[in-house]
């Protein structure tokens, strides 16, 4: 008789321990969606590491250990997202306080008039703080292509800002130079 079929072993383990694991994660989460995510991640880990899962009753205990770590990762992720959202709110508030109210709206309108590709490229530089090599990796193109596309996107943004009759010198000599280079 050959080795047991991994799929059958997993299905038997899943059937035997699903209800226990569901109760375990449900009692430790605030929503049914969080519980479903934790349960799915626990069994996904069990499938990937099926050869590490002990036999019999010890499998349930092993699954509890995995679920415990999955839940801890969920909590850490939620904490990071909350902290990031708070920092982002603070940065946006500071940014909006720095720019005159009339400029803020005009800048947003000018930015929205750009193509989605230009907006994404400028966002990767400005908001995400990525350099050309990192952007090339994200976009799956060469650094040279990123430099050319970024230069063109900046020129188009500068033109949109000028069309909105904003004083580009306020945004630095580079912004004004980009528009002058277009004329």
Rounded to two decimals, the pTM is 0.50
Place of tokens 């000018």: 110
pLDDT-derived band at 173 (thresholds 50, 70, 90) equals: low
- Which value, to the nearest 10 degrees, does the dihedral of the CA atoms of residues 170, 175, 177, 181 take? -140
Backbone angles phi, psi at 142, to 5 degrees: -80, 160
Cα 35 to the chain's mean position, in Å? 21
CATH architecture of 6-88: Orthogonal Bundle (1.10)
Say what the pLDDT of residue 19 is.
95
Q: Give 126-171 pLDDT, tens digit per residue.
A: 888 888 888 888 888 898 999 999 999 988 888 888 787 776 666 6
C-alpha span between 172 and 144 (Å, rounded):
25
Q: Give 37-76 pLDDT, tens digit per residue.
A: 999 999 999 999 999 999 988 999 999 999 999 999 998 8
Q: Where are the chain's structural domains? A: 6-88, 99-182
The CATH number assigned to the domain with range 99-182 reads 1.10.10.10
């Amino acid at each position: 008789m050959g080795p047991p079929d991994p799929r059958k072993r997993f299905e038997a383990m899943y059937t035997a321990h699903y209800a226990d694991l569901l109760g375990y994660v449900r009692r430790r989460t605030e929503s049914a969606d969080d519980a479903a995510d934790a349960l799915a991640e626990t069994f996904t880990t069990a499938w990937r590491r099926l050869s590490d899962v002990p036999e019999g009753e010890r499998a349930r205990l092993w699954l509890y250990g995995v679920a415990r770590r999955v839940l801890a990762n969920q909590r850490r992720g939620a904490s990071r997202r909350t902290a990031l959202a708070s920092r982002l709110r603070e940065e946006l508030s500071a940014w909006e306080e720095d720019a005159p109210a009339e400029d803020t709206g005009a800048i947003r309108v000018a930015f929205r008039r750009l193509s989605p590709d230009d907006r994404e490229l400028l966002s990767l530089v400005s908001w995400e703080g990525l350099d050309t090599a990192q952007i090339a990796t994200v976009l799956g193109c060469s650094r040279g292509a990123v430099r050319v596309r970024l230069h063109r996107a900046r020129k188009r943004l500068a033109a949109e800002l000028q069309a909105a009759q904003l004083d580009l010198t306020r945004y630095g000599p580079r912004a004004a130079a980009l528009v002058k280079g277009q004329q």
